[in-house]
Structure 1
Amino acid sequence: MLITVTRSGGFAGGEQEREIDTAGRRDAPQWEELAHRAVASTPDGYHYRITVDGRTVDLQDPYLSEDQQRLVRGVLGEGS
């Protein structure tokens, strides 16, 4: 199993990507079980892409901050 994690943003705005190939690893069952649980724990919610003056962020329910929720509801015409 190939597991890839990408992290971007932060103060410097950089991106870091690493992967683990579990093939042939003695700890493969633990990595694979963890990966399956991590992916399965993502709820089936809405995905959002917000762009402000050329800066874009991708978000997913239920992980929006209160300000992000208010912006989404306001722009989509769903009240405040």
Structure 2
Amino acid sequence: MDIESTLLEKGKDLSVKTAIHVRRLFERFGYDEVFGRSAVMNVVDLKQSGASKLLSNLVQKDIIEPVSGYGKGKYKFKK
């Protein structure tokens, strides 16, 4: 499954801006790379609170998932 079909299926109520952020994050990290808040801040140019809100929103929408073994607050895209 690619990110576009994931967005169509799970991200119906995401804003256009959030969908753009998701695409940019996916282009950078894909399915296999693990990322955290600071990486999100760099890739989509958000402040700390905005990056945290984006991550929690994407976890709730089941687009990304928390990953253990890399420290607290690390995520990757769900396949």
TM-score class, shorter: under 0.3
Normalising by structure 1, report the TM-score: 0.22
- Max Rg structure: 1
Structure scoring higher RCO (CA < 8 A, sep ≥ 6) equals 2
Q: Which has the higher strand share?
A: 1
Q: Which has the higher helix share?
A: 2
